[in-house]
């Protein structure tokens, strides 16, 4: 066992401090240490995207980041985007357009999609597919996932225009 | 999948990095984006008792284009490359290749330095750097030195970099003419079954210069001087392209793996290079 290090994270706006071995993977920190179980462990080999979180403004697969690398970082998970009382626009769109079947990939899908729409607020269908290529849905429900993201993009643009 | 324990270092400058490398030799490795090294550590195929995270080391970022030279700091990510308008204008093949590497999440983390220094024949940047005749800058306890990309790769994962050296930057002359990075892969996130990097200069309807390199078709990236030479002085007709493809097939040495037998890989390499030359020529 290597010596533990002092880690500070801001997760969904909340400061967290703890001692951890540097080899601890960020997905395990989130799920097992902080009980933030939205991000899932799918393939554990950085292919499936179920563990996607936003780390310092980047979509990353938290199974392939050591907690030591994340020391000092700001992290957003699905829990930071919306909750059952106040769904995020993307969550509402996934619900409305059947963007989920078993739901396992959904937190990763929505967390990634939120970053995609931040970078490109009105993507084409092709841009959505390209931008979501790091997330796999084993129910193969891609048509409705893409439909949901496009609907959320339209909804977000409309409410932005209304606000202006 | 939990890696073996390691000591973690996050120095703020290169002196700090070199101090750990000098003290621990090949028990120490630097970590850039980590998307090659961390999976290997998790599988326990790589054991790294001393891990040096480069994220806070000053001077390893930045893309610059000046005096006809492109320079990328080792920690520039594929996502940075895709987003950089000046680079896309000066060397559009960099953006075209980066868009074909892995997936969005991996591209936010994956760096040009890690991609070229790791020496994995599956990585795309080493082949691209052969095509661009790039130079790698290395720093070690005895100071800085430069190594031509075409002299850097010895065999799979074996390079001209010494254990106590760090690759800090890649640079190359602003490429001329038409370009293409063409890649065949089985799925998103897979390495190439075959990929080709091509730059072609057209003067008065004939090919004046051509540079051709191939990815994942040998245990090192392959710069095929003969394939480029086959195009020079021609008007790049189908039969000229055939001659270049034949020349390339003489330079590659693919191995059978889960992407297919040798004959299939040679077939895929030929198809991919034909497409890459045609596309680069159409842009020349």
Is the pLDDT at B14 greater than 90, yes or no? yes
Share of chain B above pLDDT 90, in %: 99
Give CA–CA dist A161/B16, Å, rounded. Answer: 51
Q: Contact, B138 vs A93, CB < 8 A?
A: no
Whether this prediction's pTM lies above 0.90 is answered by: yes
Nearest to B104 among A5, A25, A133 (CB): A133
Partners of residue A68 in chain B, C-beta under 8 Å: 8, 10, 53
When divided into structural domains, chain A yields a total of 2
Examine the fold and report which residue of A63, A80, A97 is the final residue of a domain before the chain moves on: A80
Instruction: State residue B30 phi and psi, 5-degree precision.
Output: -90, 150
Rounded percentage of chain B residues whose pLDDT exceeds 70: 100
Please, which residues 72-111 of chain A have a Cβ atom closer than 8 Å to chain B?
none
Name the residue range of residue A143's domain.
89-159
Q: Tell me which CATH code domain B63-172 carries.
A: 3.30.465.10
Are B34 and A64 inside 8 Å of each other by CB? yes
C-alpha distance from B199 to closest chain A C-alpha (Å): 26
Interface test with A, best of B6, B82, B103 (most A CBs within 10 A): B103
The dihedral of CA B58, B64, B70, B76: what is its sign?
positive
| pLDDT tens digits, B82-97 | 999 999 999 999 999 9
Query: Domain B7-53 adopts which CATH fold?
Result: 3.30.43
Residues of B in contact with A45 (CB under 8 A): 1, 39, 42
pLDDT at B61 over 90: yes
Of A23, A54, A80, the one marking the end of a domain is A80
* H or E segment to which residue B202 belongs: strand B192-203
Does CATH number 2.102.10.10 belong to domain B180-283? no
Whether residues A65 and B103 touch (CB distance < 8 A) is answered with no
Say if residue A78's pLDDT is above 70. yes
Reported as a single tens digit per residue, the pLDDT across B241-267 is 999 999 999 999 999 999 999 999 999
At A3 the pLDDT is 87
User: Is any Cβ of chain B less than 8 angstroms from the Cβ of A65?
Assistant: yes
With respect to residue A164, please indicate whether it lies within any of the assigned structural domains.
no
Q: Which residues of A touch B189 (CB under 8 A)?
A: 46-47, 134
CATH of the domain at A104: 1.10.150.120
- Please give, rounded to a whole number of angstroms, the shortest distance from the CA of A131 to a CA of chain B: 6
Mean pLDDT, rounded, for B1-28: 96
User: A2 pLDDT exceeds 90?
Assistant: no
Question: Which pLDDT value is given to residue B90?
Answer: 98
* pLDDT of B1 over the 90 cut: no
What is the pLDDT of chain A when averaged over all its residues? 97
Q: Which of A31, A48, A80 is the last residue of a domain?
A: A80
Give the residue range(s) of CATH 3.30.43.10 domains in chain B. Answer: 7-53
Interface test with B, best of A58, A108, A127 (most B CBs within 10 A): A58
């Amino acid at each position: 066992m290597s010596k533990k290090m002092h880690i500070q994270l801001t997760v969904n706006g909340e400061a967290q401090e703890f001692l951890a071995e540097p080899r601890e993977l960020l997905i395990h920190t989130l799920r097992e240490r902080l009980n933030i179980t939205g991000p899932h462990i799918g393939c554990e080999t950085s292919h499936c995207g179920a563990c996607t979180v936003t780390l310092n403004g980047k979509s990353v697969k938290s199974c392939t980041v050591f907690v030591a690398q994340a020391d000092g970082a700001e992290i957003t998970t699905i829990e930071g985007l919306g909750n059952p009382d106040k769904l995020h626009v993307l969550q509402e769109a996934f619900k409305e357009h059947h963007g989920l079947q078993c739901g396992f990939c959904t937190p990763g899908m929505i967390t990634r999609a939120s970053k995609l729409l931040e970078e490109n607020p009105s993507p084409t269908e092709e841009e959505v597919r390209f931008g979501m290529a790091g997330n796999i849905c084993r129910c193969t429900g891609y048509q409705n996932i893409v439909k949901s993201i496009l609907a959320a993009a339209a909804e977000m643009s409309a409410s932005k225009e209304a606000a202006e | 999948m939990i890696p073996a324990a390691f000591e973690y270092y996050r120095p703020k400058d290169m002196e700090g990095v070199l101090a750990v490398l000098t003290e621990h030799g090949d028990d120490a490795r630097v970590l850039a984006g980590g998307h090659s090294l961390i999976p290997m550590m998790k599988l326990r195929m790589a054991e790294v008792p001393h891990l040096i995270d480069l994220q806070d080391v000053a001077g390893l970022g930045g893309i610059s284009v000046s005096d006809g030279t492109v320079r990328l700091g080792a920690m520039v990510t594929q996502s940075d490359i895709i987003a950089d308008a000046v680079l896309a204008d000066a060397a559009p093949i960099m953006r075209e290749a980066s868009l074909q590497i892995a997936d969005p999440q991996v591209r936010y983390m994956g760096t040009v330095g890690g991609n070229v220094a790791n020496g994995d024949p599956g990585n795309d940047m080493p082949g691209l750097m052969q095509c661009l005749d790039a130079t790698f800058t290395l720093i070690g306890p005895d100071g800085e030195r430069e190594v031509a990309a075409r002299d850097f790769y010895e065999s799979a994962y074996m390079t001209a970099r010494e254990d106590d050296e760090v690759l800090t930057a890649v640079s190359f002359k602003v490429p001329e003419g038409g370009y293409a990075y063409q890649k065949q892969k089985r799925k998103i996130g897979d390495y190439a079954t075959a990929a080709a990097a091509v730059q072609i200069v057209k003067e008065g309807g004939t090919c004046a210069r051509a540079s051709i390199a191939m990815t994942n078709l040998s245990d090192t990236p392959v710069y095929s001087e003969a394939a480029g030479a086959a195009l020079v002085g021609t008007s790049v007709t189908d039969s000229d392209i055939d001659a270049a493809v034949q020349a390339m097939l003489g330079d590659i040495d693919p191995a059978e793996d889960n992407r297919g037998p040798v004959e299939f890989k040679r077939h895929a390499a030929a198809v991919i290079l034909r497409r890459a030359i045609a596309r680069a020529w159409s842009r020349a």
